[in-house]
């Protein structure tokens, strides 16, 4: 069975995400963007979802599984989300 990667709480917090309450089997993190809200949902089966709310519309950017932190950072850049540690 292949091993999948999910970003750690510490990594997501370093990117400026804050953890929010979520249903069982999920962990939800969000941060403000320039034009809305970016959200990452981690599922207990190693799947994750990236979505962004912009001007009242929900845009689903990605749902699936990834293999590494490097792939996660590339995925964030592909959907035009910052993938660097925030210092402020």
How high is the pLDDT of residue 84? 81
pLDDT, tens digit only, all 88 positions of the chain: 578 999 999 999 999 999 999 999 999 999 998 889 999 999 999 999 999 999 889 887 889 999 999 999 999 998 889 888 877 6
Q: Which two tokens stand for residue 2?
A: 């292949």
Give the up-direction half-sphere exposure of residue 10: CA atoms within 13 A in the CB hemisphere: 1
How high is the pLDDT of residue 9? 94
Q: Which two tokens stand for residue 40?
A: 């990452």
Cα dihedral sign, 51-4-43-13: negative
């Amino acid at each position: 069975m292949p091993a999948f990667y999910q970003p750690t709480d510490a990594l997501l917090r370093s990117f400026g995400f804050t953890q929010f309450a979520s249903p069982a089997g999920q962990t939800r993190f969000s941060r403000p963007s320039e034009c809305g809200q970016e959200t990452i949902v981690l599922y207990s089966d190693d799947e994750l979802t990236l979505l962004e709310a912009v001007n009242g519309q929900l845009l689903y950017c990605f749902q699936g599984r990834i293999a590494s932190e490097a792939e996660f950072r590339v995925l964030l850049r592909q959907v035009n989300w910052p993938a660097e540690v925030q210092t402020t």
